[in-house]
Structure 1
Amino acid sequence: MQHSAPTYPSSPFPRSAAGHEGSILNPSNVLAHLCWLHQLNGAKAKQKDYDFIYLAIAEQRYSLWLEKLHTRGYWREGHKVPVPPIDVLLMWHTHMVSPWKYYEDIARLYGTQSPLLMEDFPLHMATSSDNLSKITWNGNDEVLWNTVVTAGRLPYTLTDKDLKEIAMECPWCTNTCTFWSFKYMAFLKGDIIDALECTDCHAKFTADTLSAKRFIKDLERALNDEPFYLGGTLLEYQTGKVDLKSAKRILRLLFPQSTNETQWLVRLGSASGTCHWAAILDVFRSIESDLQQNWVADALENIRKSYQDVICPYSLDLIAAVQRHRQFTEKIVNPAWCNTKLNDAIDRYHAFLRLLSENPNKLLVPTLDIELVRHTHMLFPSNYREYTYDLFHRVLIHDDTIPDNTRKASFKATESLWQKSGRGAYAPLKSDTSSVGAMANVPGFDTPSLRGVSLDSVAKEAVEEKKKKSGALERFKLLLQMT
Structure 2
Amino acid sequence: MTYNGKFSEPAPVPPTYDFFPNLNGVVTVENCYYYLAFLERFWTFMDTMSLQEQRHYLARAEVRYEKWIHNHFSPMLVPPLDIAFMWHVHKLSPFRCYEDLVLRLPCKKLFDDPLPLYDLFKNEDLTPNDLKRWKQTFGDDEPYCLTSQNMYSGTYQRPCYRCQQMIELPWPNYYDYRFGANHTRFPHSCVPDDGINFWDVARMKIESDLTNGLVAGTLLNPDGTEKVTPNKMVAKVKPIQVIVPQNEMDRAYERQIQEQLRFLGSDYEYDANELLYAIRTSYQGNPSPFSIDLIQAVARQRKFYFDIMSIHWQRPISYIAAVRRYHDHLALIKKHPNVKAIPTLEIDVAFHTHMMHSRTYRNFTLTQLEKVINHDDDIPESSIKEHLREWQTVWSNQNLRHPSIEHRYRFTVSLFLYIK
Give the TM-score, by structure 1 length: 0.69
Deviates further, 351-360 or 160-169: 160-169
Name which of 195, 198, 213 aligns with 1:203. 195
- In 2: Cα distance, 1:84 partner to 1:180 partner: 21
Match for residue 246 of structure 1?
229
Q: Give the drift of 1:172.
A: 6.0
Match for residue 38 of structure 1?
40
Match for residue 157 of structure 1?
145
Q: Give the drift of 1:171.
A: 5.2
Q: Tell me which amino acid in the other structure corresponds to 1:310.
A: N
Q: Give the drift of 1:141.
A: 4.2
Name which of 22, 26, 29 aligns with 1:27. 29
Match for residue 60 of structure 2?
57
Name which of 80, 95, 109 aligns with 2:104. 109
Q: Give the drift of 1:326.
A: 1.8
Contact 1:349 1:373 (8 Å CA) reproduced: yes
Alignment of 1:70-469 (within 5 A): 74=73, 79-111=74-106, 114-126=108-120, 134-139=122-127, 140-148=129-137, 150-164=138-152, 167-169=156-158, 174-179=165-170, 181=172, 184-190=174-180, 192=181, 195-200=183-188, 201=192, 202-206=194-198, 208-222=199-213, 229-235=214-220, 237-243=221-227, 245-247=228-230, 250=231, 253-256=232-235, 262=238, 265=239, 267-268=241-242, 276-292=249-265, 293=267, 294-304=269-279, 305-334=281-310, 336-338=312-314, 340-423=317-400
Number of residue equivalences: 375
Q: Tell me which amino acid in the other structure corresponds to 1:327.
A: K
Name the SS for the 1:213 alignment partner.
Answer: helix
| Percentage of identical aligned residues | 25
Contact 2:341 2:391 (8 Å CA) reproduced: yes
Q: Tell me which amino acid in the other structure corresponds to 1:93.
A: H
Name the SS for the 2:38 alignment partner.
Answer: helix
Q: Give the drift of 1:185.
A: 4.4
- In 2: Cα distance, 1:300 partner to 1:210 partner: 19
- In 2: Cα distance, 1:299 partner to 1:289 partner: 17
**Closer, same or farther: CA 175–379 of 1 in aligned 2, 3 Å:** closer
**Closer, same or farther: CA 351–280 of 1 in aligned 2, 3 Å:** same
Contact 2:322 2:346 (8 Å CA) reproduced: yes
Contact 1:209 1:276 (8 Å CA) reproduced: no
Q: Tell me which amino acid in the other structure corresponds to 2:167.
A: T
- Give a deviation string over 1:319-341, Cα, whole Å, max 9, x none: 00000012112322345354743
Deviates further, 302-311 or 272-281: 272-281
- In 2: Cα distance, 1:99 partner to 1:81 partner: 23
Q: Give the drift of 1:404.
A: 0.6
- In 2: Cα distance, 1:332 partner to 1:360 partner: 27
- In 1: Cα distance, 2:101 partner to 2:110 partner: 7
- Give a deviation string over 1:454-476, Cα, whole Å, max 9, x none: 889xxxxxxxxxxxxxxxxxxxx
Q: Give the drift of 1:21.
A: 4.8
Q: Give the drift of 1:272.
A: 11
**Closer, same or farther: CA 288–392 of 1 in aligned 2, 3 Å:** farther
Q: Give the drift of 1:285.
A: 2.0
Please, which runs of 5 or more residues in structure 2 have no aligned partner? 1-17, 408-420
Give the TM-score, by structure 2 length: 0.79
Contact 1:233 1:302 (8 Å CA) reproduced: no
Q: RMSD between aligned alpha carbons?
A: 3.1
Please, which runs of 5 or more residues in structure 1 have no aligned partner? 1-16, 128-133, 223-228, 425-451, 457-483
- Give a deviation string over 1:362-387, Cα, whole Å, max 9, x none: 11211111000010000111111111
Q: Give the drift of 1:109.
A: 3.0
- In 1: Cα distance, 2:333 partner to 2:80 partner: 37
